Each structure stands twice: as C-alpha cells, then as structure tokens.
Amino acid sequence: MSVNIYDTANQLEKEIRETEQFVKLQEAFTAVKKDEEASKIFEEFRSVQQVLQQKQMSGQEITEEEAQHAQEISGKIGQNETISGLLEAEKQVGQMIDDINQVVLKPVRELYQ
Amino acid sequence: MSVNIYDTANQLEKEIRETEQFVKLQEAFTAVKKDEEASKIFEEFRSVQQVLQQKQMSGQEITEEEAQHAQEISGKIGQNETISGLLEAEKQVGQMIDDINQVVLKPVRELYQ
Ligand SMILES: [Ca+2]
Ligand SMILES: [Ca+2]
C-alpha cells in the first residue's frame, strides 16, 4: 500500500472505533459476556450457525434434527433481550462496514461495469 | 454512517484511484479490451470460472469435460501476455483491497478474538 492509503485506512479504523454503532456493539458484547445464561445461549447459537453454514457451503443436507435445534435456539434468542441486543448491534455495524465497502470498492466496481 | 467516516471512506476511494496498482489495472483492462483475441479468451475464462464457482458453491460435481475446458483456457491465458498482465494487475489490486480491509476491520476482529 502507498503511504497515503495506509494513513487513511488507519484514520478510518480509528473513526470506526468512535462510531455510535461500534460503541454499542462493544457494550452489547460485554453485556452478553457478563450474563452466564446469555453467554451459553449465544455460544450454542454460534456453534449451530457454524455447522449449518459449513454444511450449506459443502452442499451437504441439513438434518431434521439440526433444523429443529436451530429453531429452538432462535426461540431462546428471541426471548433473551441481551442477545437480541447483540445481534441488532452486530447488524448495525455490519451495515456500516457494508456502506464503507460500497464506497471503497467503487473504483474497481466501475471498471468492471 | 457518521459524517467523518463517510468523508474518510471517500478520501480512501480517491486515493485508491491514484495508486500505482489501480492505474496499472485500468491500463491492463484497456489493453485487453482493445485486443480482440485477448478479449475473447478473457470472456471465455470468466464464463468458465463462473460456472465452476457456482457448481462448487452449490456442491455440484464438475464434469471431466468442464475440467478439460478450464485447463485449455488456462493454457491459452498463460500464452497471452495481455491477459496475464490483467490477471497480475487484478491480483495486485486485490492484495491492496485485502490490506485495507485488514486495517478497517480490525476493531470488529479484535472484539471477537
Ligand atoms: Ca439472564
Ligand atoms: Ca493478440
């Protein structure tokens, strides 16, 4: 990377840390970590999500049992405000990162249009 | 996005356009477009690549015929300096974008470590 670009990327990184979205994500993450019940459900959710994603990517079928397990956890998450808060915060940060990528990748995108 | 972040992302976008890597990619892309033979091989390459990627993502098997076709095109590309130049330029820009993403995504990455 040229020096300018490196400086600007670092500037962006600092500014991301200061956004309302990122600060809220940190808080939501800490809230889940502090809550034993929420932590347990969240870890279970991540683990099931990983299995399903890997199966989907490799074209393997998802068993009825796995689908039921996933639904069960989704239910638990919907009833747990601490985790719902984290997922919402993740969504907001994800949207911000997508917006940044839209801008940053514009030169390359335009070239191939 | 907050105003600062938006400004900084736009600044980064401008600087990307000015990098040696991006300028070379533009030149390499124009060189292929101007060359009828190279254009034809490049389009064929992209089309085969797309089919193989879609099959891979959906878990479908790649036929022997498709594998042979892919190899044939790879051979043609290796012998065509105009296309090889474009692929190398794409690789360099891809590396630069990856480097930027490494920096920009650091706050989120650190949170989940
Ligand atoms: Ca609780
Ligand atoms: Ca030629």
* pLDDT tens figures, A68-77: 999 999 999 9
Q: Where are the alpha helices (DSSP H) in chain A?
A: 3-18, 20-34, 36-57, 64-79, 81-104, 106-111
Determine, for residues A97 and B105 on separate chains, whether the beta-carbon distance falls below 8 Å.
yes
Tokens at residue B21, please? Answer: 């890597």
Report the number of distinct structural domains present in chain B.
1
**Per-residue model confidence (pLDDT) at position A2:** 59
Q: Give the ligand with the smallest distance to the CA of B39.
A: 2
Nearest residue of B to residue A104, measured between CA atoms? B13
For residue A48, count CB atoms less than 10 angstroms from its CB and return exposed for 0-12, middle for 13-18, buried for 19 or more.
middle
**Per-residue model confidence (pLDDT) at position A81:** 95
- List, as ranges, residues with CB under 5 A of the ion ligand 1: A 35, 37
The ipTM of this complex is 0.79
Closest by Cβ to B111, choosing from A29, A99, A106: A29
Residue B35 burial (CB count, 10 A): 16
- pLDDT (tens digit per residue) in A19-58: 999 999 999 999 999 999 999 999 999 999 999 999 888 8
**Per-residue model confidence (pLDDT) at position A87:** 94
Say which CATH number the domain at A102 has. 1.20.1500.10
Determine, for residues A10 and B103 on separate chains, whether the beta-carbon distance falls below 8 Å.
yes
C-alpha B38 to ligand 2 mean position (Å): 6
Which residue is it, tokens 């309302």? A20
> At residue A1, does pLDDT exceed 70?
no
From the list A112, A98, A12, A9, the residue with the least C-alpha distance to B16 is: A9
CA–CA distance, B96 with A1 (Å, rounded to integer): 6
Determine, for residues A108 and B25 on separate chains, whether the beta-carbon distance falls below 8 Å.
yes
pLDDT, mean of each 10-residue run, chain B (113 residues):
82 96 96 95 92 86 91 92 95 95 93 83
Containing structural domain, residue A9: 3-111
**Per-residue model confidence (pLDDT) at position A112:** 82
C-alpha B32 to ligand 2 mean position (Å): 9
Chain-centroid distance of CA A92 in Å reads: 9
A contact test, residue of B6, B16, B23, B87 with most A CBs within 10 A = B16
Determine, for residues A19 and B2 on separate chains, whether the beta-carbon distance falls below 8 Å.
yes
CA–CA distance, B38 with B33 (Å, rounded to integer): 8
Q: Give the ligand with the smallest distance to the CA of A31.
A: 1
